[in-house]
Amino acid sequence: MAGHNKWSKIKRKKGANDAKRGKLFTKILKEIQVASKAGGPDLDGNPRLKTAVQTAKSNSVPNDNIDRAIKRGSEDDGGADYLEINYEGYGPAGVAILIKTLTDNRNRTVAEVRHALTKNGGSLGAANSVAFQFEDKGIFTLAKDQATEDELFESLLDYSIDDISDETDVWQVTSEVNDFGSIRDTLEKLGKTFEAEIQSVPKNLVKVEGSEAVTLIKLLEVLEDLDDVQSVSANFDISDEDMEVASQ
């Protein structure tokens, strides 16, 4: 899980500036709109929408923006009709990369993804070339002041928890997808503030060092920064020292 956790840590560190937060808000609101259109505006009857709204609130997206995105999706107001398309590729050292997008123009998106990969030491792969190296997991992120590690263990004993990891400033809980909704509801009932999402997590990791680590992190950042890209997963592991250099 090291590559997944370290990439999450880098994103949190770099996502604090206003420009990054603005892009994050846009991506979250796009997901809310798509979820509302697909499953309706009722949070209790639409788990995907409930998760998207939870993510929005944990990232301080204004409630008015959330409500407007839900309304746009549920009313099908003639706006953009987004397609969910996954792209697969390779980075430095043969690292597998899975790129999830929401797009209203697949030709633009594939061109931008291919350009980002080839310009930064990677390449676009064929469908199903790397997807088998990832599996979906529930990921919950809580600030340390929300709970102790023991409290989390005790609260979640009844569920399939793969890991509770200490990520310096936060706890990160990894679960089986089947228990995702139940864990989210439990944390809500306990009054915890948290982020919750289903992410593609690598099954095995590739060690990346030195200049290749720097190039890889730059590539992942460029991909994440594309407007149509919702998330990027990669199966890498780098040392703390190389991560510090690469995330400058």
Domain boundaries, given as residue ranges, for the chain: 2-75
Supply the pLDDT for residue 178.
Answer: 92
Supply the pLDDT for residue 26.
Answer: 92
Mark the ranges of the chain whose per-residue pLDDT is less than 70: 1-19, 76-80
Supply the pLDDT for residue 18.
Answer: 56
Supply the pLDDT for residue 1.
Answer: 40
Q: Are 110 and 233 in contact (CB under 8 A)?
A: no
Supply the pLDDT for residue 2.
Answer: 47
Which secondary structure element, helix H or strand E, spans residue 143, and what is its range? strand 134-143
pTM for this model (two decimals):
0.89
Condensed to tens digits (0 to 9), the pLDDT of residues 77-133 reads 656 689 999 999 999 999 999 999 999 999 999 999 999 999 999 999 999 999 999
- What gap in Å lies between CA 64 and CA 10, rounded to an integer? 29
- What gap in Å lies between CA 93 and CA 96, rounded to an integer? 9
First to last CA, the chain: 22
Q: Assign 54 to helix, strand or coil.
A: helix
Which secondary structure element, helix H or strand E, spans residue 161, and what is its range? strand 161-166
- What gap in Å lies between CA 184 and CA 178, rounded to an integer? 11
- What gap in Å lies between CA 165 and CA 115, rounded to an integer? 35
Residue tagged 């839900």 (tokens): 70
Q: Please give the single-letter amino acid code of residue 61.
A: V
What is the CATH architecture of 2-75? Orthogonal Bundle (1.10)
Helix, strand, coil share of the chain (percent; to 5) = 50, 25, 25
Supply the pLDDT for residue 79.
Answer: 61
Q: Assign 42 to helix, strand or coil.
A: coil
Supply the pLDDT for residue 23.
Answer: 86
Supply the pLDDT for residue 99.
Answer: 97
